[in-house]
Amino acid sequence: MSTPGRGAGPGGDEPVSKRARPSVARPARTADQDRRTASPKPQAATRRATDRPVPSTTTKRPNGPKAQPVPEVDGVPADQRPRASAGHILAVGLICFMVWLLFDANQLYRSAQAGAIGARRTVAITILRPIAAVTDALGFSGPVNTANSLLGKCGLGGEPVCGGSAPFVIMPPRPPGYLGLGAAPHLGAGSRYIAPPPNGGPPPLVSPTASHPLTLLSVGDSIGEDLGFGLGDVFSTDPAVHVVQEGVESTGLARSDYYNWPSTLEVDLARYHPQIVVVMLGANDAQALSINGGYLAFNTPKWWQACAARVGLMIDEATSVGAHVMWVGLPPMGPGSTVPGWFPQQLNKVFQHEVLLHPGATYFPAAKVLTTKTGRFTEYISVDGTLEQIRSTDGVHLLPPGYDLLARSLVQPIQQAWRINLRVGS
């Protein structure tokens, strides 16, 4: 038994439960209620789970009443064909990027070298250096380099060099007063000429005493900072030697637009009046060299000539005011370094050459004490019978045992070069 109008489904066509329900007295319906339910709105029948949409080759436009034909592709309506996923599009884009990177890695690497010194440049060079090396070895960079050469876009600062290594060139005799910064006295107004010291060098040094101490100025990049710490440690108990540490990390000779060492050294010399200047830098210089508002491509003849001129300028600045110069060469760099493996040795040749041209300057090879017996990079070395870690895991910097070892190794050469007595043993 059922009650009409109660228990029916949305369309009124579903049977009510067969279970009997007790009769319940209901209040009389009002006229308003009868009016509202007299003509109920029709409702669509509920679609069953087994219903399936019927394929159709036509569809209605959202804003139009008329059906429009949908084109078919291989018998399937175009609006029902599967579309490319976001992952597929991303994969295709990534492949295109890798192909472009393989062919243009060499130029990207050179552009990174010309960037401002800092973390961003370091990361870019670290990533691009091995990729550029691989593309050069496989010949992928050849077509791009050739095209850029034809277009005159190779290198930096107008140097038509793309890839490969230019031969090392010792700078020929320079015009008098050439600064290595793009100027010489006869080339333009405002140039500053550092005259060579009279009588072939600065005056002889006198062995220091507590009442007449010797001032030693240490300058350079982050490795030069390390050496400065070591010199401070070595002479910390000697009241006759005053060490001034003025190294600055992330600096070098190449990027005078970022940090101008010749100008900075001139200020330091006037401020501290040192008798000895110890210089150690170059680890950041494997990049384009700024000059005259432009750049010289790295590892080209002009690059090496300008670099040598800047070394000579710094030595001239120191010796012209009576200071002696100890220029410390670079040690080999480790596998984690972004410095090309051949670069320290070639740059050391520049240092040695310039020192020979300047009385009052001497050169010390850091590799003499910071490498294996065969001259190779090592993180560990035996110091006074104890195995010590002397180099950082980044393959560049010195740890305390390393910079103390290097600083102690400079004492005897300083005494021999300038015939003075220092209280610290070698």
Enumerate the β-bridge partners of residue 68: 59
Environment class of 298 (CB within 10 Å of its CB; exposed 0-12, middle 13-18, buried 19+): buried
Statement to judge: residues 118 and 209 lie in one domain: no
Statement to judge: residues 262 and 328 lie in one domain: yes
Residue 92: the pLDDT is 80
List, for residues 47-105, the tens digit of each pLDDT value: 444 455 555 444 455 555 555 665 665 666 656 666 667 777 888 888 887 777 666 76
Residue 133: the pLDDT is 62
Statement to judge: residues 126 and 236 lie in one domain: no
Range of 106's domain?
Answer: 88-151
pTM of the model: 0.62
* Cβ neighbours of residue 190 closer than 8 Å, sequence gap 6 or more: 183
Statement to judge: residues 208 and 146 lie in one domain: no
User: Does residue 379 belong to any structural domain of this protein?
Assistant: yes
CA distance 104 to 154: 12
CA distance 180 to 284: 17
Q: What is the mean pLDDT of the chain?
A: 76
Statement to judge: residues 236 and 330 lie in one domain: yes
User: Does residue 30 belong to any structural domain of this protein?
Assistant: no
- Which of 170-184, 358-372, 396-410 is the least confident region? 170-184
What does the pLDDT average to over 361-382?
96
List, for residues 327-346, the tens digit of each pLDDT value: 999 999 998 888 999 999 99
* Cβ neighbours of residue 251 closer than 8 Å, sequence gap 6 or more: 117, 220, 221, 258, 259, 261, 281, 284
SS3 73: strand
Number of structural domains (the chain) is 2
Domain at 316, CATH number: 3.40.50.1110
- Give the domain-ending residue among 116, 134, 151: 151
User: Does residue 343 belong to any structural domain of this protein?
Assistant: yes
Most confident by average pLDDT, 1-5, 183-187, 293-297, 397-401: 397-401
- Give the domain-ending residue among 133, 151, 169: 151
**Which DSSP symbol is given to 371?**
B
Statement to judge: residues 232 and 320 lie in one domain: yes
User: Does residue 240 belong to any structural domain of this protein?
Assistant: yes
Statement to judge: residues 127 and 276 lie in one domain: no
Q: Are 303 and 295 in contact (CB under 8 A)?
A: no
SS3 305: helix
- Per-residue DSSP letters for 83-151? PPPHHHHHHHHHHHHHHHHHHHHHHHHHHHHTSPSSHHHHHHHHHHHHHHHHHHHHTTHHHHHHHHHHH
Statement to judge: residues 104 and 224 lie in one domain: no
Higher pLDDT pick, 74 / 423? 423
User: Does residue 351 belong to any structural domain of this protein?
Assistant: yes
Statement to judge: residues 307 and 216 lie in one domain: yes
